[in-house]
Amino acid sequence: MLTISYIREHRQHVIDSLSKRGFRDTLIIDDILHMDDKLKKTKHQLNNANAQLNEITEQIGHSKGKEFELTKFKEEIKNLKSVISAEKTELSRLDSLINDTLHKIPNILYDGVPKGSGITDNLVVCQSDCLPEKKDWMLPHWDLVKKYNLVDFELGNKITGSGFPVYIDKAAKLLRSLISFLIDEATAEGYKEIWPPLVVNEKSLHATGQMPDYEGQMYKVENENLYLISTAEVPITNLYRDVTLSYKDLPIKNVAYTPCFRREAGSWGKHVRGLNRLHQFDKVELVQIVHPDESYKAIEPMRLFVQNTIEKLEIPYRTLLLCSGEMSTKAALQYDLEAWSAGQESWLEVSSISNFESYQTNRMNLKFKSTDEKRHLLHTLNGSLFGLPRTIASILENNQTKNGIKVPKVLHKYTGFEIIV
């Protein structure tokens, strides 16, 4: 969430950034500044009314026995209390309206974000040199999992519904091995492992920006003000809500594995078949909390770490710098990392790496105390390592042979087997 002071100081820059995103309602910026002016005026009027009330109350103490003056003062007090009540009501209304409006405004784009409206406008930052060619006998993963009895979608549908797969035997071991490998890689990189709750409250979702923008994608617990998480980013980042850190504590680097839950709108086509899009999926998430001067220095090592990790898994990939029209509303800069899926001959998004700047920390009141003892908003960064169903789909399709599916070498010590037959 942007601050009013930033919007006021950089009005045209904010409008230009929103226009670059394709955000049409740029008049909202002048509306919010007008509301803020009214808020300040209302506060001034309320302060004046309270000052008059205090003055009259003091005068009453010197008017004992003067019935005429006391009657006059009582009438003035009655009128002032009515004014104060009305001003407080208006103040509350404006404060709520401004807050709701601020939540609708996307983050300001980093200057290096390319302008564009669709996927063809994203920039390819890097790409693997060679992509496996699809042979006539190669299958997409939804056929491979049937052939080798690895994932049962029908059983998941029976137990729960569409989009809730059942991993079987070696697929279950492969999934668990991937989780262990990724957590080990992240902790070796200096990330502290966290095991957070899988349900969160509305305040946590507003703090990280999932509400109000993505409320329709989340599962709500009936009769409870709780939601199943769509990403570990929410509980990890909210560990620090309403916290003031010391500059000596920075940077903070956390990693967590969690199941995730999303109510995505139904659609048809191979891009949503099998493991490509699910309602329940597993993910390893990276979160960093950094000094505001360091966030753009920190995001590149984060991106390179994610790329190095997918290279260790021997998965062909490409990294995209997303254009303005493709980015999350929370992000100031966003990279997507896509794995090549040989059986489908397509790219599958497995990671998103973003700098949110102070967009989340302003919502959650997360600050640090600098050397001058002043408090400043921190910056947050987030990266997936990875969305595991699509990663598994890519491993299965890229490593299939006529005699089985090879397991990436770095996973052998975790799986205990080198090939799926």
Domain ranges, residue 194:
119-420
**CA–CA dist 336, 341 (Å, integer):** 16
Q: What is the 3-state secondary structure (H, E, C) of the chain?
A: CCCHHHHHHCHHHHHHHHHHHCCCCCCHHHHHHHHHHHHHHHHHHHHHHHHHHHHHHHHHCCCCCCHHHHHHHHHHHHHHHHHHHHHHHHHHHHHHHHHHHHCCCCCCCCCCCCCCCCHHHCEEEEECCCCCCCCCCCCCHHHHHHHCCCEEHHHHHHHCCCCCCEECCHHHHHHHHHHHHHHHHHHHCCCEECCCCCEEEHHHHHHHCCCCCCHHHCCECCCCCEEECCCCHHHHHHCCCCCEEEHHHCCEEEEEEEEEECCCCCCCCHHHCCCCCCCEEEEEEEEEEECCCCHHHHHHHHHHHHHHHHHHCCCCEEEEECCCCCCCCCCCEEEEEEEEECCCCEEEEEEEEEEEECHHHHHHCCEEECCCCCEEECEEEEEEEEEHHHHHHHHHHHCEECCEEECCHHHHHHHCCCEEC
Tell me whether residue 10 is in a domain. Answer: yes
Most confident of the following: 57-66, 263-272, 361-370: 361-370
- The verdict on 272 and 409 lying in the same domain is yes
Tell me whether residue 112 is in a domain. Answer: no
Using 50, 70 and 90 to split pLDDT, how confident is the model at 72? confident
Residue after which a domain boundary falls, among 102, 127, 152: 102
Q: Terminus-to-terminus CA distance in the chain, angstroms?
A: 51
- The verdict on 91 and 186 lying in the same domain is no
Is residue 330 a contact partner of residue 107, using CB atoms and an 8 Å limit? Answer: yes
Q: Residue 99: what residue type?
A: N
Residues of the chain above pLDDT 90, percent: 82
Model confidence over 256-293: pLDDT tens digits? 999 999 997 544 445 678 999 999 999 999 999 999 99
Which residue did the predictor score with more confidence, 173 or 81? 173
- The verdict on 329 and 184 lying in the same domain is yes
pLDDT given for residue 270 in this prediction: 53
pLDDT given for residue 59 in this prediction: 76
- The verdict on 20 and 126 lying in the same domain is no
**CATH (domain of 35):** 1.10.287.40
pLDDT given for residue 64 in this prediction: 59
**CATH (domain of 181):** 3.30.930.10
Beta carbons within 8 Å of 303's beta carbon, 6+ residues apart: 319, 335, 337, 353, 383
Q: What is the mean pLDDT of residues 165-170?
A: 97
- The verdict on 239 and 380 lying in the same domain is yes
Model confidence over 100-151: pLDDT tens digits? 999 999 999 999 999 999 999 999 999 998 888 888 999 999 999 999 999 9
Structure tokens, 264? 């995505």
Structure tokens, 345? 């001959």
Question: Residue 55 pLDDT more than 90?
Answer: no
- Count CB-CB contacts under 10 A for residue 76: 15
Question: Residue 419 pLDDT more than 80?
Answer: yes
**CA–CA dist 22, 197 (Å, integer):** 36
**CA–CA dist 261, 256 (Å, integer):** 15
Number of domains in the chain: 2
pTM assigned to the model: 0.90
- The verdict on 254 and 372 lying in the same domain is yes
Tell me whether residue 86 is in a domain. Answer: yes
Which residue did the predictor score with more confidence, 273 or 316? 316
Structure tokens, 118? 């669709």
Question: Residue 66 pLDDT more than 60?
Answer: no
pLDDT given for residue 25 in this prediction: 86
Range in 18-22, 157-161, 265-269, 416-420 the model is least confident about? 265-269
- The verdict on 34 and 134 lying in the same domain is no
- The verdict on 140 and 209 lying in the same domain is yes
Tell me whether residue 233 is in a domain. Answer: yes
Tell me whether residue 107 is in a domain. Answer: no
- The verdict on 149 and 68 lying in the same domain is no
pLDDT given for residue 267 in this prediction: 47
- The verdict on 162 and 226 lying in the same domain is yes
Tell me whether residue 138 is in a domain. Answer: yes
Is residue 379 a contact partner of residue 362, using CB atoms and an 8 Å limit? Answer: no
Tell me whether residue 354 is in a domain. Answer: yes
- The verdict on 144 and 95 lying in the same domain is no
- The verdict on 406 and 294 lying in the same domain is yes
pLDDT given for residue 70 in this prediction: 61
Residues of the chain above pLDDT 70, percent: 95
Model confidence over 29-46: pLDDT tens digits? 999 999 999 999 999 999
Mean pLDDT, rounded, of the chain: 93
pLDDT given for residue 268 in this prediction: 45
* Biggest CA pair distance of the chain: 107
